[in-house]
Structure 1
Amino acid sequence: MKALSSRTADFTDSVIRRMTRVSNQHGAVNLSQGFPDFDPPREITDRLSEVAKSGPHQYALTWGAQNFREALVRKQEHFSGMKFDPDKEVVVTCGSTEAMMASMMSVCNPGDKVVIFSPFYENYGADTILSGAEPVYVPLKPPTFCFDADELEAAMKQDGVKALILCNPSNPCGKVFTRDELLVIADLAKKYDLYVITDEVYEHILYKPHVHTYMASLPGMRERTIMCNSLSKTYSITGWRLGYVIAPPEIADRVKKVHDFLTVGAAAPLMEAAVVGLNFGDDYYQQLQAHYTHMKELFVGGLKDIGLTFTEPQGAYYVLMDISEFGYDSDLVFCEELAEKVGVGAVPGSSFFREDINHLIRFHFAKQDETLKKALDRLADIRTKMKK
């Protein structure tokens, strides 16, 4: 038999999803894979019940149902202050994972390079490689996760660099990039003629006083920004896999074609039901922020009471905890034993960093109060059960 693809030879399974399986194996409270254990808004699920009987049940337009795209544009215009054409600038995808992949394949040629901040969501490196490009990593430096502008410029001016991926708010570190930081990135992108591919799935999960600035809204960035996003986190429907790309018409047209050959289209019944959520008023997003603020304060407050060292997030719903005190050489082994001995699931930080960092693990706190309290009760014994 001939050899399989060399491009994917070094791929491993997703460490995040693997830790869910480990958590399930040991009956651990799963704070690894980032999905909530509470229901979506009732208005959305009620509409889904109606759609199950009345349809649509067949293919929608490849780039998304008309009413979904129009509702999406209204919502994005409200929050970003930018006008979008639902027919020429929007592509609905099967989750933000496909949105990122279709965008990367639309931009990159084999041999191109893509700048990625580290730590990063594990798919970004794989997306780059699958696109035939080479990742170039720039560190966000713990504990503040700021970047060095000179290091960023050195990466962006390399021969063959085509794009930069920006996750804001950031998974896994919870950083919210300031407007000044985004202006530095924008100025360099314009200077070196790069695309910026943004992952903004946590745009509405922010903790005061931090605010989300859309890269595409900055001077000169609309024409070179490809916005990737999804409904998963905002409406607690991670299993519905409804994502989207918003980009200038000539870029969106290319993304449409790539998307067509990747997945044909997103699920028509789910788009129809999700329109209800896209039409929510400001009160929904205020309640969402209040809900996540409550969960964050409950969880990080509990970690403080236990005396653990961690970075408090500015956005998203993740906490990076320092495990240096426990004496483990491997954060993966630590997470496996944490699930087994303590009964709490986490993700080894090394799966997010290009640098040799193995003293951090990631928890997520998009959980009901009783789930978080159960995890904290178990973590109270962590020093007794995990000390080397």
Structure 2
Amino acid sequence: MTHGRPLLNRRLTEFGTTIFAEMSALAVRTGSINLGQGFPDTDGPEEIREAAVRALRAGHGNQYPPGPGVPELRSAVTEHQRRHYGLEYDPDTEVLVTTGATEAVAASLLALLEPGDEVIALEPYYDSYAACIAMAGGTRVPVTLRPDDGAYRLDLDELRAAVTPRTRLILLNTPHNPTGTVLTRDELAAVAALACERDLLVVTDEVYEHLVFEGEHIPLASFPGMRERTVTVSSAGKTFSLTGWKIGWITASPELVTAVRSAKQFLTYVSGGPFQYAVADALRLPDSYFDALREDLRAKRDLLSAGLTEAGFEVYEPAGTYFVTTDIRPLGETDGFAFCRALPERCGVVAVPNAVFYDHREQGAPFVRFAFCKRTDVLTEAVSRLKGLRAA
């Protein structure tokens, strides 16, 4: 305490050590298989890693890169958006490279919110969303995705009812972490219509855009009236299995990019210079790369989902991402925190309790998330270990 005040800013008092740090430390301590934190256990394409080495040796990006990002990457981002979605962006005024998607979201919220502004976020939400809204002085308003017929669904009436005169922004995530939901064209059209009707901004986190197993990924910015009010966020980490490089980006109108850059320049300023050149090459990989990645993860999803079902969980098979959410109540459990903290000792596997992704903790209490972005032999061993739960 100093002068009678806590050291930590009161906006952050509800946020302690992240659950990912806690559960990853538990995995190390117990020698368990870590299916909690969402990082692959194999590196991305060798040709892209070699591109980073070449950039380092050639002196490309070893000093401060340009604030908006190296031109090669900004051009590659615009080519990617055109190639996959038919969206046209100007690489000089409508792209901003960030230190991963996490900084992109943080800079967007810091730039676009005033204290007291309300932000609607789909609950359960990635944990940094809540912290970023708090740091910006905003008020988060969760709209809960609920399980229905084997999948999580967005209640559009609930979303509409959440909008008030204080609502500034909708923070959207599709494909959605942690539930694996991929919003449909009709759902996205309804979100777009609501944003236009109520004059709302939208920040849309699309980092799992290439990891869709059922349905299709449709950028919200492609809907009528949305290009000028949407900040689209993506990154290289999930698509290329290079999470440690922390190269992300936004695409948006010049006015929105300028606003977000005003905040971003005082966070990291710039980062990952040589990696930016390599990611430019990665975005230009042929369609066969993206297809193979998706099919590999689809097979791993099916392997883990079947194993979890056999172990006694109720499984909500994801349409996208690399996470599967389960219900532990068929195992006679109701407390996801207690279950996850005991699971390493019970069977040598680590998972994450979904309740950490909720404002309404009781809504997420019986749900647990597992990651399947691991080697097939690791998942096979995890499934074998989890079989012991039913016997117990």
TM-score by length of 2: 0.95
Unpaired stretches in structure 2, ≥5 consecutive residues: none
Deviation at 1:198, TM superposition (A): 0.3
CA distance in 2, matches of 1:353, 1:109: 23
Measure the CA separation in 1 of the matches of 2:239 and 2:334.
Answer: 37
CA distance in 2, matches of 1:316, 1:205: 5
CA distance in 1, matches of 2:258, 2:92: 10
Q: How far apart, in 2, do the equivalents of 1:26 and 1:206 lie?
A: 33
Equivalent position of 1:378 in the other structure: 385
Say whether 1:15 aligns with 2:22: no
State the 1:325 CA deviation.
3.0
Paired position in structure 1 for 2:170: 164
Equivalent residue letter for 1:38: T
Q: Does residue 6 of the first structure (1) align with residue 10 of the second (2)?
A: yes
Please name the residue that 1:204 is paired with. Answer: 210
CA contact (8 A) 1:167 1:198 kept: yes
Which residue in 2 is equivalent to 1:148?
Answer: 155
The answer to whether 1:252 aligns with 2:247 is no
Equivalent residue, structure 2, for 1:312: 317
Residue from 291, 296, 301 that aligns with 1:296:
301
Residue matched to 2:185: 179
Query: Contact 2:312–2:389 at 8 Å: present in 1 too?
Result: no
On the 8 A contact 1:92/1:266 being kept in 2, the answer is: no
The answer as to whether partners of 2:312 and 2:390 remain within 8 angstroms in 1 is: no
Q: Which residue of structure 1 lines up, in the alignment, with residue 50 of structure 2? A: 46
- In structure 2, give the amino acid aligned to 1:47: A
Quote the RMSD (CA, aligned, Å).
Answer: 1.2
What SS does the aligned partner of 2:216 have?
Answer: coil
TM-score (norm 1): 0.96
Q: How far, CA to CA, are the matches of 1:205 and 1:172 in structure 2?
A: 13
Partner residue of 1:61?
66
Distance 1:111 1:308 in 2: 41
Q: Distance in 1 between matches of 2:26 and 2:49?
A: 30
Q: How far has the Cα of 1:302 moved from its partner? A: 2.1
Letter matched to residue 54 of structure 1:
A
Q: How does 1:267-278 map to 2 (within 5 A)?
A: 267-278=272-283
**In structure 1, C-alpha distance between the alignment counterparts of 2:328 and 2:46, rounded to whole Å:** 39
The one-letter amino acid paired with 2:202 is: V
What is the match of residue 192 of structure 1? 198
| Residue 127 of structure 2: aligned partner | 122
Asked if the contact 2:237/2:247 (under 8 Å) is kept, the reply is: yes
Offset at residue 51 of structure 1 (A): 2.3
Q: Secondary structure at the match of 2:239?
A: coil
Q: Does the 8 A contact of 1:230 with 1:242 survive in 2?
A: yes
The more displaced of 190-199 and 1-10 is: 1-10
Moved more, 247-256 or 305-314: 305-314
- Equivalenced residue count is 383
Alignment check: 8 A CA contact 1:331 1:350 kept: yes
Which of 349, 361, 375 is the aligned partner of 1:368? 375
Report how far residue 329 of structure 1 moved.
Answer: 4.5
**2:156, 2:213 → 1: CA distance?**
25
Q: For each residue in 1:281-321, what CA deviation from the matched residue of structure 2 results, as whole angstroms up to 9, or x when unmatched?
A: 21111111111111112211222333431100000011111
Measured in 1, the distance between the counterparts of 2:230 and 2:78 equals 16
Q: Given the alignment, which residue of 28, 34, 39 partners 2:38?
A: 34
CA shift for structure 1 position 75: 1.1
2:140 match: secondary structure: strand
Tell me the SS of whatever aligns to 1:13.
Answer: coil
Distance (whole Å) between structure 1 residues aligned to residue 272 and residue 25 of structure 2: 27
**Is residue 33–residue 349 contact of structure 2 (8 Å, CA) maintained in 1?**
yes
- Once residues 376 and 131 of structure 2 are traced to their aligned partners in structure 1, the CA distance between those partners, rounded to angstroms, is 35
Identity in percent: 37
Offset from partner CA, 1:325-344 (integer Å, 9 cap, x none): 33345311110110122110
Report if the CA contact (8 A) 1:28-1:345 is conserved.
Answer: yes
DSSP 3-state at the match of 2:237: coil
- Corresponding residue of 2:86: 81
Amino acid at match of 1:288: L
| Structure 2: distance between partners of 1:236 and 1:114 | 30
Partner SS, residue 37 of structure 2: coil
Q: CA deviation at 1:154?
A: 1.2
CA distance in 1, matches of 2:288, 2:259: 36
Counterpart Cα distance in 1 of 2:281 and 2:257: 25
Change (3 A) 1:354 1:191: same
Rounded to whole Å, the distance in 1 between the matches of 2:339 and 2:311 is 18
Q: Which residue matches 1:229?
A: 234
Contact kept? 1:8, 1:130, Cα under 8 Å: yes
* Separation (CA, whole Å) in 1 of partners of 2:240 and 2:79: 16
Hey, what's the Cα distance between the residues in 2 that align with 1:340 and 1:298? 23
Question: Secondary structure of the residue that 1:381 maps to in structure 2?
Answer: helix
| Equivalences for residues 320-359 of structure 1 within 5 A | 320-355=325-360, 356=362, 357-359=364-366
User: 2: distance between equivalents of 1:147 and 1:381?
Assistant: 34
Gaps of at least 5 residues in structure 1 are none
